[in-house]
A and B are shown apart, each in its own frame.
Chain A
Amino acid sequence: MDDSLGHKKGLGFLFEKRSIASLIVFRIIFGLLALLSSLRFVQEGWIEVLFSHSFFFKYSGFAWVPVLSVDNLYTLFYLMIAASICITLGFAYRFAIAFFFLAFTYVDLMDASNYLNHHYLFSLLGFLLIFLPANRSFSLDAVLRPSIHREKMPSWCKYILLFQISIVYIFAGLAKINTDWLLHGMPLAVWLLEHQHLPLIGNYLAFQSTAVLFSWVGMLYDCTIVFFLLNNRTRPIAFLAVLLFHGMTAVFFNIGLFPLIMVSCSLLFFSDNFHLRLLHLFQGGTLLGASKKQKPTTYPITSNSAYSLKAVLPYFLSIYVLLQLILPIRHLAYTGDTQWTEEGYRFSWRVMLVEKSGMATFHAVNPSTGQKDEVNSARFLSDFQIKQMAIQPEFIHQFAQFLKTHYQEEYLWDSVEIYVDSHVALNGRVSRPLIDPKADLLKLNQPIIQQYAERKTPKIR
């Protein structure tokens, strides 16, 4: 085809007008999930559990993020609850969603040991929603200011969300293509074993073949579900599979809102008509009828702004898309197995992939006096942080830096060396040392991760 035609086709594809209904449904669901998530956090008392100790792990580049006091965090969460309600109702939408995104992301940035894939996804969706016209219909904003009301939106608004959801599935699926998962049924074998009391299937969960079967189904599901959801003919079946799959993960794993988020997001794959009907059902038809009447009159296209948006949008979208494609594969740039080293593990949709536990015992040494101390990590860290640190070299490194200052200030040591005796057990194996116990952690920029020899042989036992 002609080059310029292809160009036009590309642009047309992104800016083609389509019904705004799917975005509206998505906004309402997002608002409700945000509300549920914030309420749960407050109600379960997680603020105290997660944020009332003295040391916090940081994401690289975000070490400056301060930690609020527990009281202030409660205030923040109440504001987030209010923002969620505003998002759902489409009231002061742009402000509410921007606030929610910033607050939610801030809470997650405070302590890197709390990293959760579905929190990261929720942050990303919140970020995208800031730029989407999700309050232009079925919203208080549109009622109060009818001039902003729209029935249509450019297609990119839907495609960017579809893209985001698709890469979660596909990268989660690709990450499952490894010998532990596919050949040994690990770590599902461990996790399924815990549910033998379940009716009907409980008895089958102890078998090797069940774990391997579930592993394959999980991998195939993640790798392909997007394509079956995109296809008109297979969509109803695919959505049934979505419900079944996430229903089962909700039963088997302690993964909070993740199943709900993924099921809700899958609705985006449905046609615009479906969403229109959904809204119609929701509103009893009256508002939809009314807004349809308004449509011809209040539809002035401010061509200027639309034109400039068209100019910058491809760059913006492309950067976002590129980043989302590169982050999950950045582990290829590191040596070693990501499951063992944890380098490139986060932000990569490696969801429920390993069963890992470990122990890290720190020793502080003052080389000028010969003094030596075994560190009581529980003095500074929560049990959960200790558990996370034991398996993540990056955290071990951060804690060593903290200990240096601690021994300098509390014991007035003029020089400090920090060593760690660390052992990690992965997917049913016996433990192996994670970091060279003879290496002074303060002399390394990154801790040396010992070669995990066992990874070379596929056999677990």
Chain B
Amino acid sequence: MRKSLLLLFLLASKPVRSMPFGFAVLISMTLLVSCGESTSENPCSVEFDRISMYENLAENLIIPGFEDLVENIDQLQAKTDLFFAEGAGEAELLALRQAFKNTYLSWQAVEPYNFGPAETVFLRDLLNNFPLNIQAMEANVYSGNYNLNTPETYDKGLPALDYLLFGIADSDADIMALLKDQSQESNFFLYFNDVVASMYQASLQTLDAWQETYQAEFIDNDGTAAGSSLSLMVNALNEHFEFIKRDRIGIPTGALTLQIPNPNKVEAYFSGLSRDLLVASINSSENFYTGMGGAGLENYLSETKARKNEQLLSAVILQSYEDMRSPLANLESSLEVEIENNNEIVLQSYAASATQLVQLKTDMPSVLCISITYIDNPSDSD
């Protein structure tokens, strides 16, 4: 017994002179065997012109998108001035509301591009932290003491305007009276103007940065490493998509809250724009993915020829966007109404978004050989 144990130790630890030779033979045999099989192409070195994808995104989607947003906020500011002018009435309110809707929709188009300048200025938080915390906002209004540039609070941006323009009172006449009442200390007039001004400033800052320096930086920053434009794009696409899935559908429908719906937590609750905004945000995610006719992630993905369930992954992703949208097309009113009456239809869209998230977050990065960097290793790995 003892002897055999010792022998084992000997074998395990004592240098055996013939072993390198034995290994060499073993390895050459493995080599020979493997040379017989054909090696496939490296899935990570697909021929695709990434630079033209960056150029298309920057020139045809991102910069025009931010230009449009700035233009719309500019209009919003003009209509705000008209509305608060002496003698303005119902017509000016309607024009202001229309400008608000246009701005909200133009925001949806650029919301996915939350990297680079937009991330630096916390554009999404400043413009669209929803649902609005009404108490926090009113506290701001009454105290006159607020900072509209803090990303953490839910008291500003488009959700605040949504409330002020549509929800602050029951009738249009009351809304106008409240907003335009400049006599009292706590005035909504100032707050409204400050919110619009801060939105304008942040959007303009983002647009300027893209036009002045970031466009070139973005197009030059090739590669697959963390921080490369490709990895920024895929991360941003995923973060935005998770935002749609969780905040626009999951929480309001109750899918994430024990099936207890929260219709009051939809986006743009007071103006009833929620359904249109949801569809617009799905579209903008899809546009980011396809490149809208130019080179996009869709083309890159189809070059890899990766297949899922017997179909091209690039096409499966397109189909999932459609699966998310089609139930919503049957809805007639805003989400808060539909969640109360036809929640199962909205939940179909949610189910499609769950499938899509796996494809965007797990399949696409794997096939394109990118690691999802917004889940960082806290320490080392091996």
Q: From residue B241, how far is it (CB to closest CB) to chain A in Å? A: 12
A160: interface (CB < 8 Å): yes
Most chain-A Cβ atoms within 10 A of its Cβ — which of B10, B307, B357, B369?
B369
Contact flag A374-B250 (CB < 8 Å), given A196-B223, A431-B362: yes
Chain B residues with Cβ below 8 Å from A177 are 30
The answer to whether B378 touches A49, judged by C-beta atoms less than 8 angstroms apart, is yes
The answer to whether A359 touches B361, judged by C-beta atoms less than 8 angstroms apart, is yes
- 8 Å CB contact of A357 from B222, B365, B379: B365
- Which of A78-86, A250-258, A280-288, A394-402 lies at the binding interface? A250-258
Task: Write the A162-203 contact mask toward B (1 if CB under 8 angstroms, else 0).
Answer: 110011000000000100001111100110011111000000
Q: From residue B255, how far is it (CB to closest CB) to chain A in Å? A: 6
- 8 Å CB contact of B34 from A41, A182, A321: A182
The answer to whether A425 touches B20, judged by C-beta atoms less than 8 angstroms apart, is no
Residue of B nearest to A259 (CB): B382
Size of the B side of the interface (Cβ < 8 Å), in residues, is 67
Residue of A nearest to B6 (CB): A10
The answer to whether A255 touches B380, judged by C-beta atoms less than 8 angstroms apart, is yes
Q: From residue A461, how far is it (CB to closest CB) to chain B in Å? A: 5
The answer to whether A255 touches B224, judged by C-beta atoms less than 8 angstroms apart, is no
- Which of A58-66, A67-75, A227-235, A332-340 lies at the binding interface? A227-235
Size of the A side of the interface (Cβ < 8 Å), in residues, is 91
A193-B225, A195-B225, A197-B223 known; 20 other A-B pairs, CB under 8 Å? Answer: A7-B3, A13-B10, A183-B40, A184-B42, A184-B43, A194-B224, A227-B19, A255-B382, A258-B380, A318-B9, A357-B362, A371-B258, A382-B378, A387-B375, A425-B363, A428-B43, A428-B366, A430-B366, A458-B37, A461-B307
Contact flag A373-B13 (CB < 8 Å), given A228-B20, A359-B357, A430-B367: no
Most chain-A Cβ atoms within 10 A of its Cβ — which of B14, B30, B44, B361?
B44
Chain A residues with Cβ below 8 Å from B307 are 430, 461
Contact flag A430-B379 (CB < 8 Å), given A224-B23, A314-B9, A374-B250: no
- Which of A129-137, A144-152, A205-213 lies at the binding interface? A205-213
Contact flag A208-B362 (CB < 8 Å), given A184-B40, A318-B5, A430-B313: no
The answer to whether B39 touches A184, judged by C-beta atoms less than 8 angstroms apart, is yes
- Listed in ascending order, the chain A residues whose CB lies under 8 Å from chain B are 6-7, 10-11, 13-14, 41, 44, 46, 49-50, 114, 116-118, 159-160, 162-163, 166-167, 177, 182-186, 189-190, 193-197, 206-208, 211-212, 216, 220, 223-224, 227-228, 230-231, 253-258, 314-315, 317-318, 321-322, 325, 351-352, 355, 357-359, 361, 371-374, 376, 382-384, 386-387, 411, 421, 423-426, 428-431, 458-461
Task: Write the B123-162 contact mask toward A (1 if CB under 8 angstroms, else 0).
Answer: 0000000000000000000000000000000000000000
Chain A residues with Cβ below 8 Å from B80 are none
